Structure 1
Amino acid sequence: MAIDRDGPVPPYQQIADTLRKRIKSGEIPAGRRIPSLVELEQEYEVARDTLRKAIQVLKDEGLVQTVQGMGTFVTERAPEEAENGQR
């Protein structure tokens, strides 16, 4: 996916929005690892600090959690929350 570097939405927010959509659609299901920083760096062609900000947004929303030495994983959500599209 190309990032709009000249638009009003910061790149980290665009990436967070894209990852959020992938999580909510089930493309990246609960309990699965999201792509690593290296993979995301290649996909989006942005600095790692930008990616870290995007992941922090998702952490703050409760969508992902980082496991030391393992990666960042989509959190398990309660069935009624998943059905309603909520976190």
Structure 2
Amino acid sequence: MELGPDDQIDHIAYEAPYRQLAAILTARIKRGDWKPGKPLPSEVRLAEEYGISRGTVRHALTVLVADDLVQTAPQRGTFVKRK
């Protein structure tokens, strides 16, 4: 399932919501919604925006960290990595 930057989470899809969110956020980063060095919205805000739990958002963010797209800073947030 390929998701674009403007897609929403499909709660009845086969693909897990965290994987859908990771794909959406990846597309948004590649589109330039968040520039390198800039923070992503908070976990709470992303959870509200996509209608999912904070734990699901956190799981999606770990995928982005593993894909080397973002980095986390304790007490500060998640930031788009500079290449």
Calculate the TM-score normalised by the size of structure 2. Answer: 0.87
Q: State the partner residue of 2:44.
A: 38
Match of 1:61 among 45, 67, 73: 67
Kindly report structure 1 stretches of 4+ aligned residues shifted beyond 4 Å: none
Deviation by residue 1:31-87 (Cα, 9 ceiling, x = unmatched): 01001011101101111111111000000001000111110000001xxxxxxxxxx
Calculate the TM-score normalised by the size of structure 1. Answer: 0.83
The percent identity for this pair of structures is 42
Q: How well do the aligned residues superpose, as a CA RMSD in angstroms?
A: 1.0
Larger radius of gyration: 1
Asked if 1:25 corresponds to 2:31, the answer is: yes
Unaligned runs of 5+ in 1: 78-87
Q: State the partner residue of 1:9.
A: 15
Unaligned runs of 5+ in 2: 1-6
